[in-house]
Amino acid sequence: MHGWISHPDDVDAKVAEWSAQYPERFTAESMTQYAGRKVWALTVTDKSVDDAPKSKTMFYKPHAHEPAPIAGQVNVINSLLAGETLDGRPTEFDNDRVLTDALLTFIIDANPEGTATAPVEYWDGSQYTNDEFWAWMRGVDPDTGKMWKRVDLWDDTKEEKLPTRYGIVYEQISEHEYVEPNRHHSSTLFKWIFKLWERYEWDQMFSLHQTEFEKRDENCMIILPVLYGDQPEDIKEYETQWADYVVSAWADLDGGRPILESKPLGYSGEQRQYFVERWGRFYDKSRIITSEIQNNSPKTSPFLQMRLNEVAIRATVEFGLGQC
């Protein structure tokens, strides 16, 4: 699809191009995964302006089976640097103000090896059922032929039964170990977040995701943090207003069908505990929300998946600048 970049080879080429053409506004740093792919941390800002007073936001895409946030981030970055998206749509940003008054960090794809292993560059519901899609996500269970289990860390020498195909959601971190990137501190995603937090201490942290919305008419939503109820009141108020701002922007987009009320992440038990242990240190320091945009459904085309991500990022940048 014209204007869509999500494969890591294409991302690498675009990063090299931006680095050569816009050195005064663009910084590319990388860590190399065990499997050899580069995990990029990309920063967009006017380097001639002091960073201290800028609105600082970090966008990150943890999961390899959710490619639309990559395509959306690529178009946003290109809009800010070149003034237009890859398919020639003019920037929706006030570029001069954003580059001067904001510092934006994009961990554009936390698991490029997984992304490169996917059988398609986008999931539109035409080639794989959701059961088949989920088996690509977490692997194929040898007994059922459906989706394997969800864990934060696993070792393929210690499992009683291994998946017959490893899931692309998991990042390989050693010869035998695999992690889900946003659920274990050994992931490259967390290594980047801890390193860059010392430098930027972002005002806003936006986690970009996709889900299937199988039994709903809506195609996008914002989720508040799992520990929302325990956060300081000023952070809770900020996150609620930020979520409402993004939802309103989606509602104004042709094809956007947002869930209007944003609620805290509803996990319990072990799944909730992952977020408490992995993300707890940030909940009283930064403002954090998560987007979910429909994946693998003919009801939301790949172009619309990409546009919903672009709009959410734009709204987040606008909201952050409005709080300065």
Whether 222 is in a domain gets the answer yes
Given this model, what pLDDT does residue 1 score?
Answer: 81
Given this model, what pLDDT does residue 14 score?
Answer: 98
Q: Is the distance from CB of 67 to CB of 112 less than 8 angstroms? A: no
Q: How far apart are CA 189 and CA 61, in angstroms?
A: 9
Given this model, what pLDDT does residue 270 score?
Answer: 83
Residue 317 tokens read as: 């940048």
Running along the chain, 324 residues long, what does each successive block of 10 average in pLDDT? 94 98 98 98 98 98 98 98 98 98 98 98 97 98 96 96 98 98 96 97 98 96 94 97 98 98 89 85 94 98 98 98 89
Whether 288 is in a domain gets the answer yes
Whether 225 is in a domain gets the answer yes
Given this model, what pLDDT does residue 277 score?
Answer: 87
Whether 82 is in a domain gets the answer yes
Q: Is the distance from CB of 73 to CB of 309 less than 8 angstroms? A: yes
- Among 51, 162, 181, 49, CA closest to 115: 181
Helices 68-82 and 8-21 meet at what angle, rounded to 10? 10
Q: How far apart are CA 5 and CA 58, in angstroms?
A: 20
Whether 172 is in a domain gets the answer no
Which residue range(s) make up the domain with 256?
8-115+187-322
Given this model, what pLDDT does residue 240 score?
Answer: 98
Whether 290 is in a domain gets the answer yes
Q: Is the distance from CB of 223 to CB of 292 less than 8 angstroms? A: yes
Count the domains in the chain: 1
Whether 141 is in a domain gets the answer no
Whether 29 is in a domain gets the answer yes
Q: How far apart are CA 22 and CA 319, in angstroms?
A: 25
C-alpha neighbours within 13 Å on the C-beta side of residue 65:
21
Given this model, what pLDDT does residue 121 score?
Answer: 97
CATH number for the domain spanning 61: value is: 3.40.630.10
Residue 241 tokens read as: 């207003």
Given this model, what pLDDT does residue 45 score?
Answer: 98
